[in-house]
Each structure stands twice: as C-alpha cells, then as structure tokens.
Structure 1
C-alpha cells in the first residue's frame, strides 16, 4: 500500500497512484486532465498523447503559434475515431483551442492573443506564457517563456568548428538530404528548409519533430539556443550547438548522448532506450529523463531544481542537490536512498512509489517522516517492498557454473555437489552462488570466477566448513547484491579462521600472524562502520561496512575482500571517512595487536599442537586459579553478607573469578607467544 506523508497532505489511507495524482495538492494539472481524456486514445497512442499534453501545458522555449496548432492537430490524429471531434482548434476564433469531455465540458484550453501571450486553463489552473516571435536577421534578442522555459538568448557567433557562411552550411545540409533513404527523403528535405529558415531569420529555436529522421546532419545552426527533436528514429545526435540552453529529444531510439554544452539549462530526454548520461553542465536546472533504461546517474549539478527519472532501471540515486524542488523516481529498482534526501526543503515533493526499497530503508522513512516536528520533503512511497522471492536451482547446477570443466575421462567437479544438495541450507547456498554472478565483481574482475572455484573446491573437501558456510548463506540474499558481496567476505573470513584452527599454518607462523592481522583490521573496521551507521538515517548498514572494507582493501591488505562493490556512492562514506579509518586501524594495530592475538582462539590451537606440555600446564593452572579465586570471593564477600546460595551473587563472583584466571593464563602464555612469534609481531606500518 502506498504511503503518503507530509504537512497538509492526504492521510495514509489513500491506496493507489491514480488517486494520488488526482487528489494530491501538488499533482501537475495536466495529470488531472489526462485522467479525463486518456480514454480518447488507444493504449499504443497514450504515451505520445500524454507527451503532447505536457508540451501544451508547459510550452518549451521557442514555442510558436504554429507549434500550438500542430500539437492540437496531433492529438486529433492520435484520438479514436469520433473522439477527435472533442479536440478543437479555432472553435471561438483562430486563437482559441480546447479539449472537451463527453458532456462537452471543457477539460483544457489554450488562448493566444495578438501580444504573444499564451494562456493555459486546465482544471482550475491558469498560467500565461510568452510565445516566441521571430527576430529580424542581424538582431540579437532575448526573451522569456515564463513558468517553463527560463531565459533564452540568440547569438550569431558561430562555433569555430561549424561552417562559417550560409553557403557552407547549405553544402553540408544538401549532402545530408541527398544521402537520404527513399522513405526519409521528404522528411530530410523539410528539415533542411527549417534549418535554412532558422539560419536566415536568426531564429534561436529549431524544432524538427515528427520528421521520420534516423540521423541529423553533422552541423546544426551554431546560434540556436533551443533544439526540439521529438518522435523521430534517431539513434545518435551530432555535436550540439555551443549556445544551446534547452534540449528536448523524446520518443527516439537514443542509447547515449554527445557531450552537453556548458550553458545548458534544461534537458528533456524521455522515452528513449538511453542507458547512460554524460557529465551534466554545472548550471543545469531541469533534468527530465523518465522512460529510459538508465541504471545510474552522474553527479547532479548543485543548482538542479527538477529531476524526473521515473520508469528507468536505477538501483541508486546520487547525492541530491539542496535546491531540488521536485524528484520523481517512481518505478525504478531503488533499494536504498541517499542521506541527502531527508535534508531537502519542506517544499520539495518526492515520489518513490514502485521501488523495492529495503525494509530498513522503509522503516527509516516511516520513523523520520512521522516524527514530531518533521520538516523535510513530502515523500510518497510504498509501505512494503516489491521484491519477489527467487526460486533456488539445484545446488550442483549452481556450482557447475563456477567450477572448472573436467578433463576428458574425469568426473565432472559438480558431480560431488549432487549429494551436498541434501545438506542443511543447501538451497540458500545455491541461491547465493547465483546471486554472486550478478555482482560487480563477477562483471569487472576477470579473476573472480577462479577465486570462487578454488573456494568451492575447499568446501567440497571440508564438511565442517561447508556446514558453517551454508548456514551463513541464509541471510546473504535477502536484499541487494552488495549484501551478497559482504557475506562472501564473511564466509572467506570463516575460511581463514577455520584453516588456522585445522593447523594449516602450524608450520607457517608468518601466515598465521598475517591472518590474525587481517581479522584484527576487519574487526576494527566493523567498529568504525557501526559508529558511522549511527550518524546516518537512510543508508543500509551493509553498504557502510562494505564501503570501508572495499575501499581500504589495498591499503590495509585485506585478502578476503573483493575488488568491487556497486553502491559505494550511496553508502554515506566519504573520502575523509576512509582516510580517518585507515589511520585509526593502523594506530590501533600498532598499540593493541600483541594483546589481541594473545587471546585469539586459532593461535591457542597452534600453540597447543606445537608446545602441548607448556600450554596444558597453563590450562591446568587456569582451572586451579579459578577455583581458588572463587573460594576466596565466596568467603570474603558472600558469606559475610549472607549471600551464600544466592544464584545471582554466585554468578557474579564466578564471572570475576573466570576473568582473573583468564588474565593469569594469558600472562603465562605471553612468553611462549613472544618466543614463537616475536619476529612476526613487529609493527608493519610505516609513517607516511
């Protein structure tokens, strides 16, 4: 059920997006109108019709009277037979346009006047814009399209790489027109005429929509500030004019964009198979890129005010600019949110519906937005995550994808995994292996598959290690791929300790100490990560822990840590945090590691195997010390107080006696440790 929170908004009993869009006070007026007219159009035409309605209500910079007529005529063309009569242009004179409902009541209207005013009336909403009037050739002009388009400027200084004269432009354009396929010839000819008129008249706006284009010429008029290219079949764009302020390219086949001009203010690229964006200009104010196939976003400009990224494949959002007024990110793959979200203004509206947000993120949103005095943005989100459970494959099939194929005549390595599939938690481990193949490490690290294959080979030989590892897999696949990576690290740590306990390092004490150092460093990083998590509200703690491990892998020599993670940008961990953590870990290791390894269980196992008499003597003494201390505390503290037989009191002195005996044991163990490991315990870190 969607959840809607914010001052002055509807209660949480509203249960679907349509009601929100009609009733919510910040719903764009065109969406309210659309609910009343969308039945005019078949499903295949509705997207195009909605885009047209949006352009009518929010005319882009450079809109002319001809553009208005064309948009209403396009709606008539897209409508079902019979419904086109409800879409009028010229009902009360040539400057009046409207759309009527089935009862002939006005849903939306546009009125033009001789002064160039463009007034939209839509469900009680009214706004006046300015139409663009052609400027005489040779003039420089500025104008405003209030409410939607910002400021635009005409400049006649051509870019150094562009043709310098009309004749040079015409030569390029004519060659492009002559190279047109037969089905595109008429469209290219019409576009060339528009570009010639644009160049000759000094018009700052070029609109070449619905021309059936698959390409554009290499050179566009260098002076234009607005480029509108909707509903063609473009797969790429040429270099963009340097003075461009507004770019609209909807309904094409773009998968990428060229470098964006530094002065660009508005970018609308929706309904394309766009997979990534270039770096964004620092002054960009509006970014509308819904209905693409984006999986990530670049750094957002600090002054960005509107961001629409709905209906993409985004798994995370970057840090959000503080000036952001609207964020529409519904229908993506978001599982977590940037910390900057809750610091946006109370005037900011945010829609996150249709995302599989993690339970921790959902809980944080509920608590934060319902807290007394909450003054952050108004947020719409689903009350429950949308992720569906995955079915595990047979374990031997999952393992086979990682194992090295057998040589001819040898049994397949995966055959042994048939019987392992009957063990406890085998299904969870199978699912874990499949999820590993979706991680950044599998995609980017060429040696990752070999590492997993080697690890699986040891698991196949060690029943105890396999049981521990399978058990850990039950928690490893509950959310995002970084959780899978984090638990892989945990499993590899278990492997390191298990190897030490089994005696693998009995004759390689340097490796034993190196393993101990890695466990110590990881433990310190976990402490640091826990402290960091307490300062963050929306970040998944797994991302924080993994960020410290992953980014300090090299500087701290963490061999059990993989090279990649996906969501570092939303972990909330900064470069300064990493630098501070590295210094803290190294300082702690310098002062604490000797005492820490003295208490490390795997070391005790090695010492018991290499010096059994000395260690056994210390163990026996530990037992006698405990008994002696317990009797002393009972006689001196419990008996005088009448607490002999009191369970709680006896438990308390038992703990104290155990701690005292353990300290004596470790003090006795220290000389043996120094004797066997002394040369390996020297401080490794050097001062920078």
Structure 2
C-alpha cells in the first residue's frame, strides 16, 4: 500500500510508463522538462498554483501511482502531457482546453471548469465521467465501458444517440434537453437517469414521468403551462389492452374490481404501462415484464386471468401497486 499525491492512495503494478502509447517514448527527465517549461510560462498575477501541480505530478510519476489530483489549483491550462494514471481529478479550475489524456483512465473528474466541448475520443476504459458545471452544448461518443455520467448544469440539448449499455447512472439536470434517445431503453432496467429542470417536450415529459424502464427522474418545473394528465380509473385503463368485444364482456366486472383494496394503486401502474405503450419510442421490457411474459402470454390474457381469480388479483395489486 503506497501513497497518492496527498498520501492516501495506492500504487498499482499494472500502471507503467509503457502501458499507454502516449507515454512510451518519454523518459522521466522528458516529463520533468515539459512540466518545468509549463510552470515557467505561467502568467504572473493569475493565481495559478502550477508549482503545487508540478510537485504532485512528479510524485505520482516517481511512485507509479494510480491517482492524480490537481483539483482547485486555479489552473487555466495543463501541461501537454500528464503522468500515467487511472484516476484523474482536474475539477474546480478554469480549464478550457484538454491535455493528452492517458488511455488507461478509468475515472475522470472535469467538473467546474470552462469546457465548451470534449475530445471526440475519450479514454476507452473510462467507467466514470464527471463534466458537471461546464459550458457543454453536446457530448461526444461515450466509451463502451462507461457506467457513471454526471453532466448537470451545462447547455446540453440532447444526450448522445448511442449510449453504452453499461451505463448505470446518468445525471443531466439543469440543461436544455428536450427529447430522449431510443438508446435509453437499451440500458439496464435498474439504471437511473436524472433529468430534472430540462425543457422536455410534453410528450417526452409524460413518457419519462411514467417510465419504469429504466428509472427516469424528471421534475414538473421543466414544463411551462403543463396540463397534468389524470390517472384513468381501472375500468377504463384496462381497455388499452382489450378488444372491443372483451371490453363489453368484462366492463361490469372491472367496475366491481376497481372498488377492491389495492385497485387504485394497481391502476396507476397500468397507467404507467399505457404511457409507454402510447409513446412513439418503443422501449425494451424491463425485468418484471420479462418475467411475466412467459406466464401470461400477453397483457390481454393476463387481465382476463385477473378478472377470474381473486387471489391472482391480490398478488398483482401487491406486486405492482407500488410502481
């Protein structure tokens, strides 16, 4: 167990100067020469703590550490090359241009800077990316292994059309996003997307608000003059999946069922499914629907079975009434 730039990280035998092509031909003295020139070119009076940054970079290089923290040093630029590492924090500076990034990076914190755009190609093994509080209008193609994306408080108008299926969390609140890409529904059913305070179209808002594949969090304040859609009662919402003949045959029975305990909450669940069904975007079914589908052979037959079995109804009310 070694020390990081602040004395609390660890060294990794897998990180070497040769593990990244950008570092293969650079000696220790080569790094030092680049950093020395960068330090000496600082503009007096701008408050950059380049001396501290160079000390931390040298220490990381010497100890072959996995982490480099250049957070909150008032930096307006970075040297052309940084020491190889897997975790880089350059947040809370005044940066607007990128250095050469190590291809070994797994965690990258770029928050609270002045980025107007990101590199077209991000490190391929990146799992966590934080670009909060910047000036970004769009995001590049994201690495295939990315799991966590934090992009709140930018000027984003959309999310990338292609999203890594590995993503488990996206936070992009306080942007200018109006619609969602279809790739959202390639994510895990327990993935979470937080999109509060975005000017979503009404159609997108209602879809996201009722979405359970995956968990999409939005806020009503993102819409102006919003007209809240009321939940349809159980006897009405089931008609979305029934033929006219089935509706007529079962109407009286569903009117009776909607008076049973748990029916109101179950109706809300069906309203959410109906929102998805009516959307022009066709999501993949999430885990609980995949589990149900072999058993019920479709919503219409499942609803028919519910009509004829009180125990089955009570189980459904209990299982799905909390969504």
TM-score tier by shorter-chain length is: 0.5 to 0.7
1:66 to partner: Cα distance: 4.8
1:317 to partner: Cα distance: 1.8
Compared CA separation, residues 66 and 291, structure 1 to 2 (3 A): same
Secondary structure of the 1:177 match is: helix
Secondary structure of the 1:175 match is: helix
Unaligned runs of 5+ in 2: 238-263, 284-323
Tell me which residue corresponds to 2:194. Answer: 328
Compared CA separation, residues 300 and 352, structure 1 to 2 (3 A): farther
What TM-score do you get using the length of structure 1 for normalisation? 0.32
Do the aligned residues in 1 keep the contact of 2:48 with 2:75 (CA within 8 Å)? no
| Residue 204 (structure 2) pairs with residue 342 (structure 1) | no
| Residue 139 (structure 2) pairs with residue 277 (structure 1) | yes
| Residue 219 (structure 2) pairs with residue 352 (structure 1) | yes
1:537 to partner: Cα distance: 2.2
- 1:246 pairs, out of 99, 104, 107, with 107
Secondary structure of the 2:164 match is: coil
Compared CA separation, residues 284 and 376, structure 1 to 2 (3 A): farther
- 1:140 pairs, out of 13, 19, 29, with 13
| Residue 279 (structure 2) pairs with residue 538 (structure 1) | yes
Alpha-carbon separation, structure 1, partners of 2:229 and 2:32 = 61
Tell me which residue corresponds to 1:172. Answer: 34
Tell me which residue corresponds to 1:372. Answer: 267
Tell me which residue corresponds to 2:96. Answer: 235
Alpha-carbon separation, structure 2, partners of 1:214 and 1:375 = 53
Alpha-carbon separation, structure 2, partners of 1:188 and 1:283 = 33
Alpha-carbon separation, structure 1, partners of 2:180 and 2:170 = 11
- 2:49 pairs, out of 187, 205, 208, with 187
Secondary structure of the 1:281 match is: coil
Q: Deviations over 1:34-70 (max 9, x none)?
A: xxxxxxxxxxxxxxxxxxxxxxxxxxxx997959xxx
Alpha-carbon separation, structure 1, partners of 2:123 and 2:30 = 23
Q: Which has the higher contact order (CA 8 A, sep 6+)?
A: 2
Tell me which residue corresponds to 2:176. Answer: 313
1:376 to partner: Cα distance: 10
Q: Deviations over 1:149-207 (max 9, x none)?
A: xxxxx454343233521111112111211211113475112111111111111111111
Unaligned runs of 5+ in 1: 1-61, 68-131, 142-153, 378-532, 540-570, 574-688
Q: What does 1:468-487 correspond to in 2, within 5 Å?
A: none
Compared CA separation, residues 279 and 63, structure 1 to 2 (3 A): farther
1:228 to partner: Cα distance: 0.5
The Cα RMSD (Å) is 3.5
Tell me which residue corresponds to 1:148. Answer: none
Q: Deviations over 1:488-508 (max 9, x none)?
A: xxxxxxxxxxxxxxxxxxxxx
| Residue 35 (structure 2) pairs with residue 159 (structure 1) | no
Q: What does 1:513-662 correspond to in 2, within 5 Å?
A: 536-539=277-280
Alpha-carbon separation, structure 1, partners of 2:211 and 2:193 = 12
Alpha-carbon separation, structure 1, partners of 2:10 and 2:146 = 26
1:212 to partner: Cα distance: 1.0
Do the aligned residues in 1 keep the contact of 2:134 with 2:154 (CA within 8 Å)? yes
Alpha-carbon separation, structure 2, partners of 1:350 and 1:252 = 26
1:363 to partner: Cα distance: 2.8
Secondary structure of the 1:372 match is: helix
1:233 to partner: Cα distance: 0.5
Alpha-carbon separation, structure 2, partners of 1:376 and 1:140 = 54
Alpha-carbon separation, structure 2, partners of 1:192 and 1:326 = 38
Compared CA separation, residues 535 and 156, structure 1 to 2 (3 A): same
1:303 to partner: Cα distance: 1.6
Q: What does 1:177-216 correspond to in 2, within 5 Å?
A: 177-184=39-46, 187-216=49-78
Secondary structure of the 2:33 match is: helix
Do the aligned residues in 2 keep the contact of 1:329 with 1:351 (CA within 8 Å)? yes
Secondary structure of the 2:269 match is: coil
**Higher share in helix:** 1
Aligned length: 242
1:374 to partner: Cα distance: 2.1
Do the aligned residues in 2 keep the contact of 1:177 with 1:185 (CA within 8 Å)? no
Q: Deviations over 1:531-556 (max 9, x none)?
A: xx9984234xxxxxxxxxxxxxxxxx
Q: What does 1:49-60 correspond to in 2, within 5 Å?
A: none
Which has the higher Rg, Structure 1 or Structure 2? 1
Alpha-carbon separation, structure 1, partners of 2:47 and 2:74 = 9
Secondary structure of the 1:307 match is: strand
Q: What does 1:29-44 correspond to in 2, within 5 Å?
A: none
Secondary structure of the 1:363 match is: coil
What TM-score do you get using the length of structure 2 for normalisation? 0.65
Alpha-carbon separation, structure 2, partners of 1:305 and 1:191 = 33
Alpha-carbon separation, structure 1, partners of 2:90 and 2:271 = 37
